[in-house]
Amino acid sequence: MFFPSLSTLFIAILVVTAFYYAVLGFRWFRALNTVRLGKSIQEPLPSVSVLIAARNEKDSIQKNIDSILQRDCQGPEILAQYAAQYPDKFHIIAIKDLPEGQSAKKNVISLMVATSESEILRLTDTSLHLQKIAVHYPWKARYGVHEKTFVKTTGKETLKGLWEQRKRWASKTIDDSPRFVFLLSMVFFLALCFVGTLSFFSYKILIATLLVFALKVIGDMLLIVRGLHIFNQQQLLKWFLPIEFFQAPFIVLSVLFGTAGKFQWKP
């Protein structure tokens, strides 16, 4: 028999963090519903810089660069490994000395932002860094929601590759995400995993866990459906429920291992 006082404590933690998670999910869902295309664009067209940080991307860099070169914008600056082939369109920033405590990719992105003279900066694969730019620099940061702005990428083909990728992403979560959001989100996922295990010993905890998990599924479903609609990927919805059962422990473990530095960088 599980101790009644501890049972009540765990249920209270789960309910409070679940309420926060629901509010956060609703705000994301509402934000996605308010995303609209711009009604006009200034004339003449503003200058645009495309900033690309690449490391060991031999399997995809050629397709990426070829796709960018097909754009009809005039005079873009593009960072690429084979910039010598297009001297009129490419500008290279070579990183010789990396400041202690900084990652190579984010350091080069910071330098590109500082040296660019264009009115619009187009960044890819830098969503977390974009949060810092929006906070510390007088720039307006927006996510592209038009189909022509989407950047296609190939997913990891193995579970091990996905696991290492998520740990790498999680390694900078504390530094790049709002601390309060990160802390409460982690408490919720950790509580869901822990309390779910205790459900085998307490009927009350079992009922509370099932109700909270149902609330999470509904909230995640609304957000995922909206996101899949934006990216025109509705066929992926069939994988939602199977993955939902593994999401919480997967996130908790990846963050714990990632923040502890227990991950393998790309070879």
Q: What local confidence, expressed as pLDDT, does residue 76 receive? A: 36
Is the Cβ–Cβ distance between 115 and 93 less than 8 Å? yes
> What is the end-to-end Cα distance of the chain in Å, rounded?
50
How many other β-carbons are positioned within 10 Å of the β-carbon of residue 113? 17
- Model confidence at 77: pLDDT above 50: no
Is the Cβ–Cβ distance between 252 and 190 less than 8 Å? yes
- Model confidence at 200: pLDDT above 60: yes
Q: What local confidence, expressed as pLDDT, does residue 1 receive? A: 46
How would you class 258 by CB atoms within 10 Å of its CB: exposed for 0-12, middle for 13-18, buried for 19 or more? buried
For range 12-30, the mean pLDDT = 77
Cis upstream peptide for 44 (omega within 30°): yes
- Model confidence at 119: pLDDT above 60: yes
Q: What local confidence, expressed as pLDDT, does residue 171 receive? A: 72
Range scoring the smallest mean pLDDT among 4-18, 210-224, 236-250:
4-18
Q: What local confidence, expressed as pLDDT, does residue 175 receive? A: 59
**Tokens at 204, concatenated:** 């009350």
**Residue 81 carries which DSSP code?**
T
Walk me through the domains of the chain, giving residue ranges and CATH numbers.
Answer: 4-34+156-259 (no CATH), 48-142 (3.40.50)
Alpha helices in 34-71 (DSSP H): 61-69
How many other β-carbons are positioned within 10 Å of the β-carbon of residue 171? 21
Alpha-carbon distance of 9 to 219, in angstroms, equals 24
> pLDDT digits over 48-62, tens only?
666 666 666 666 777
